[in-house]
Amino acid sequence: MSAVTWGLGEADGVARTGVMTTPHGDVQTPNFMPVGTRATVKTMDTEDLRTVGAQIVLANTYHLMLRPGEAVVSQLGELHGFMAWDGPILTDSGGYQVLSLNPKISEEGLVFRSTYDGARVELTPERAVAVQEALGSDIAMVLDVPVPLPSPRIAAEEAMHRTYRWAERALEAKQRDDRALFGIVQGGAEPDLREQAAKEIAALGFPGFGIGGLAVGETPEERDLALDAAIPHLPPDRVRYVMGLGDTEGMLAAIARGVDLFDCVIPTRLARHGKALTRNGDISIKRAEWVKDENPLDTACSCLTCRRYSRGYIRHLFTTNEPLSDRLLTLHNLTYTFDLLRSARAAIEQGRFSEFRSDVVAARAGE
């Protein structure tokens, strides 16, 4: 039996709830993973993450293998002990970050220069698995070859085939039975390639599947076509995870297609740029209209930020470069995100997800 399993809860059409069981606890799905690139979600500690509703977090293999190195993390209690988080952790393979460095790509793997000291580094499918097993994450991802969108069809097809061959090698390299390894579906914006990739990766028997190479420049229509092509060919009793997707409208569209899991830097990155996610649309706290505003960021939000502080105060913090503004906006944005996913699960259980989705999108559009 796999170290990570998923069981169906309720379904409303294709949208579904479920429970993902991991060595460090259960995750209610659909759900969202805050991105803790270097074993920390920026400006948050693990108590904050529990407070805002996080059940699982993501850490980045590329950065951690370079600093402090997987051996150090392993010695300090693996990721769970290292970052004092006792819940589930998923690590990405590092391929997406490496590809932004223009690496040399061969059938063997990736060769690139470290962003920290310029040292030559090799990352192969086998190395990616070994690093993640040393980090001790509950879920590791295979090393894949994402392509930016738009890309020529031939590039998407080549990346898809190489991702499959690397997935076979990753399975051979896996050593730890107490941790899970997920496959990744590639195929660019080509629906027929997405269908082929989903069928081939599904046949390898992974306990869960990332759908990669999205949220990288494609239109919402292209993204939805890619999901429509891939998802029907993934096993219905396994986790479906769209990598890098985290905007409200995008997540709801994916949930409507049967997706279970998401990750994205949007809530935390936007916070550091002075933007708050709200039920009535996103707002920039930098705007002068908030100078004397006594209202919270969102009157319907129960987060610490909205319970205690006004828009005027948060704007003051941001415009004077006080670090507290980053923390307060991040607390709010993550609370908004988890409230959205919690409400989506409830709507599916009540058989009203389509109505819920329409209401959320309309409210955020000001309709």
Q: Catalytic positions, please?
A: 92, 263
Residue environment code for 210-219, b if the CB has 16+ CB neighbours within 10 A, otherwise e = bbbbbbbebe
Give, rounded to a whole angstrom, the gap between the first and last alpha carbons of the chain: 48
Tokens of 109: 């793997």
Question: In sequence order, what are the residues at sequence separation of 6 or more whose Cβ sits closer than 8 angstroms to the Cβ of residue 143?
Answer: 93, 94, 95, 109, 110, 123, 124, 125, 128, 129, 166, 170
Cα separation of 348 and 189, whole Å? 28
Tokens of 226: 């890619």
Give the helix/strand (H/E) hosting 270: helix 266-272
Length of the chain: 367
Cα separation of 87 and 24, whole Å? 5
Longest dimension (CA), the chain: 61
